[in-house]
Structure 1
Amino acid sequence: MKNREQNREILVRRDGPLLRIVIDRPAKRNALDKSMYEAMISAFAKADAEEEIRAIVLSSAGDDFTAGNDLEDFRRPLDNPHDFPALRFVRALAALQTPLVAAVAGDAIGVGVTMLFHCDLVYASHGARFKMPFVDLGVIPEAASTLLVPQRIGLVKATEFLLLCDSFGASEALRLGIVNAVAGFDEVEEMAVEAARRLAAKPRAALAATRRLLRGDTAAVAARIEEEAALFAAALTMRETRARLEAFFAGVPASDPLGQSSDNLA
């Protein structure tokens, strides 16, 4: 597994029965690049392989949870879209057997939002903002979000967030059932850790069976992940998408849809 020495932007450590994963790239608003995805995939595999690990806590350093995919990785069409680390991360996330609790302190953008629909419990800071700007960039939402988001919050709000790409705050996320609770910025990680410890103390077999039933048809989720991924890869070859990505790198306007270099998520 990649550790602090191998990937200084994904910190992984054991904390009793918990595996703690911290996204630590604050200079880039915790945007996720290929090596960071690889490190998290390895951490997930470790958690599922070791019986002593009973739950995972995913959190972040700095002012943001994550600004989503590092767009540098998508600046050119993908050589092997089926094996791209971001896609393998999404697959691993959907197949994860160990309970996963997220602490969203600060903004969550792109995959920073869509990954939350695969978490068992999610806690957010009061000032957290959420945005899924895929269509604005000319690409397709991922992580089976076109299936899971309307299932969770209804078609009306899913359309608003996935087609209009509107941002929303922590109170709206709580009202819609995207997060379980909201706390202060400095309190949200401890809230997530406490919830993970409670999960870790439950009978393993009963917890696993209940979790599996709650998740429902995993085959449909896996199929949607692949369908979205194929469309995402195709979109990266389109002229309009290339132009939007190059405009992002050329000037990063104040309305930067990913917020990786801007404070404005409107």
Structure 2
Amino acid sequence: MLLVNIGCGNVYHLNWINLDLVSSSPNVIAWDFRHGIPYDSNTFNVCYSSHLIEHFTQNEAKKLLTECLRVLRPSGIIRLAVPDLEAIARNYLLALERSLSGNIEAQADYEWMMLELFDQMVREFDGGEMGKYLSRSDLLNREFILSRIGYEAEQFWEKQREHLSGKPNLIKKLSSKKFGWLVQKLRIVIAKFLVLLIAGKESAKAFEIGLFRNSGEIHQWMYDRFSLAILLEECGFVNIRVCQAHESRIPDFNSYGLDVIDGKVRKPDSLFIEACKP
């Protein structure tokens, strides 16, 4: 059985072919998904993608899912995980009602849900206001945040602890990067300097924000169980089903540790959905 993980990040399994925009490991193939998927039609039994398509425009997401359909074999399964807009909206409204009643802890939850709704769509710098919020030493709703984003929060706080303990080493971090990454960073530094030199500070700032917003961190769209099912149907998929993190039609899916790790859902804020190629 051939399986492909589209946009794997640093969570992948060696039994899968793992693709991402930037390779985080020799086991991950670097690929720009705007150019399709670099495999022949009818190659894979399973295509999996977690928290990727929301970073594309609606048209780009549709093109990518059409590519997933192409590379899947007949009766092949696609599994998607995306931030669940419906759950975000419901939690926001619940936190709003509780905040209006004077509940102090609910006010912290309300602030967090506002960030979930908007921050990753409007932010202009790495991590955004969400990163600032997670860095607070006086968090009142740590458990609520864990219930919402789970593994992501744990990773953020672990990196924060490492930074405070002085563990990170700049030379070591740079040595772990590929040569192409270093060249690209150097090109950006030179480009920023030239824009500043030619067009001034405001243009240089606009250039910097534009580069960031096209870096892949921004959410270009959001989905719920209705809109994502319609999108999959428009791309040609059938037997579309919303499922839980631990449920799947993919044989032995939970053994790969992609959505559930050590019994915990990696991204609890997710909508999980599966569909088949006719």
TM > 0.5 between the two? no
TM-score by length of structure 1 reads 0.27
TM-score, normalisation: structure 2: 0.26
Higher relative contact order structure (alpha carbons within 8 Å, sequence separation ≥ 6):
2
If you compute each CA radius of gyration, which structure gives the higher value, 1 or 2? 2
